[in-house]
């Protein structure tokens, strides 16, 4: 997750020394160091809890940039749809259109991995989520045109669904979730997306990492980290 976040935001920061980002992220349940099992409900809860934790440290009326890759793109789109008042802009990388479409497109023998999620497929609808966003919320779609996991046509459907007054379709000849390659190729356009969304603070500081145990569900704890990254260190 940290590598994917860096892959998107470091090329943007490198393209404009005036930009800086503080990136907060969580790790799915069932992925080290977390225990448990990932579900749509768990993903929604953890994403919402992470946003709550971030908003508590911001001044009243502040908004955030949301980013997500692959399944995380569906989570980010859903969170933006549920809480648009807290979101300044949305960027999704290698997104699927709907979980149903992705399951049908998934290559054998791996299709069975997604079938247990189909009963929640109406919730994993990135097209509907993006279509519901306010028109003044800028949207960028990084599309991996060489993707063999999520067909580029699905990624295009997410972009077309957006009614944003400012939106960016950014196709790059890259494999699935290759954020570093895609963001480097489209850094100038991603910079435009950032500037259309919110002006980031320009004062450089030192890179740091802060660890929290964010959400408890029974005996489970979900770990999240906040990364502070500035281009002068990279």
Query: Taking a C-beta distance cutoff of 8 angstroms, is the pair 98, 125 a contact?
Result: yes
CB neighbours of residue 71 within 10 Å: 22
Residue 104, Cβ neighbours under 10 Å: how many? 11
Q: How many residues does the chain have?
A: 234
Please give the pLDDT value at position 2: 82
Q: What is the mean pLDDT of each run of 10 residues along the chain (234 residues)?
A: 89 92 84 74 88 90 93 94 96 84 50 48 80 97 94 95 97 97 97 84 35 47 44 30
Whose structure tokens read 């290759």? 178
Q: Quick check: helix, strand or coil at residue 212?
A: strand
Alpha carbon of 191 to those of 18, 37, 60, 183: distances in Å?
11, 36, 25, 10
Predicted pLDDT at 193? 96
**Predicted local distance difference test score (pLDDT) of residue 122:** 54
Beta strands, E only, 70-150: 87-93, 139-144
> What are φ and ψ of residue 204, in 5° steps?
-75, 145
Can the peptide bond before residue 33 be classed as cis, meaning omega within 30 degrees of 0? yes
For 76, the 3-state DSSP assignment is helix
Q: Are 90 and 135 in contact (CB under 8 A)?
A: no
Give the pLDDT score at 212.
47
200: tokens are 């980031």
Residue span of the structural domain in which 108 resides:
2-233
CATH number where 48 lies:
3.40.50.1820
Total domain count, the chain? 1
CA distance 169 to 142: 7
**Angle in degrees, CA 68, 140, 113, rounded to 5:** 35
Q: Which residues are within 8 A (CB) of 5 and not within 5 positions of it... i.e. 6 or more apart? A: 23, 25, 67, 227
For the CA atoms of 144, 146, 151, 156, the dihedral, rounded to the nearest 10 degrees, stands at 40
What pLDDT, on the 0 to 100 scale, is given for residue 110? 45
- pLDDT, residue 133, reads 98
Q: What pLDDT is attached to residue 50?
A: 93
Q: 123 with 40: CB under 8 angstroms?
A: yes
């Amino acid at each position: 997750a940290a590598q994917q976040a860096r892959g998107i935001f470091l090329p943007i920061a490198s393209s404009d020394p005036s930009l800086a980002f503080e990136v907060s992220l969580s790790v799915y349940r069932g992925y080290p160091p977390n225990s448990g099992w990932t579900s749509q409900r768990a993903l929604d809860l953890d994403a919402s809890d992470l946003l709550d934790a971030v908003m508590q440290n911001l001044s009243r009326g502040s908004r955030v940039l949301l980013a997500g890759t692959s399944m995380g793109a569906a989570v980010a789109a859903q969170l933006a749809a549920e809480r648009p008042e807290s979101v300044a802009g949305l960027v999704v990388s290698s997104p699927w259109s709907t979980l149903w479409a992705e399951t049908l497109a998934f290559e054998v023998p791996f299709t069975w991995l997604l079938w247990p999620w189909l009963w929640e497929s109406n919730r994993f609808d990135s097209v509907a989520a993006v279509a519901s966003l306010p028109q003044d919320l800028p949207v960028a779609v990084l599309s991996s045109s060489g993707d063999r996991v999520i067909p580029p046509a699905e990624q295009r459907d997410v972009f077309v669904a957006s009614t944003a007054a400012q939106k960016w379709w950014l196709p790059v000849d890259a494999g699935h979730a290759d954020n570093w390659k895609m963001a480097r190729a489209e850094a100038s356009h991603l910079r435009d997306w950032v500037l259309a969304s919110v002006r980031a603070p320009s004062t450089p500081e030192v890179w740091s990492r802060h660890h929290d145990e964010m959400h408890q569900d029974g005996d489970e704890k979900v770990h999240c980290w906040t990364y502070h990254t500035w281009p002068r260190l990279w």
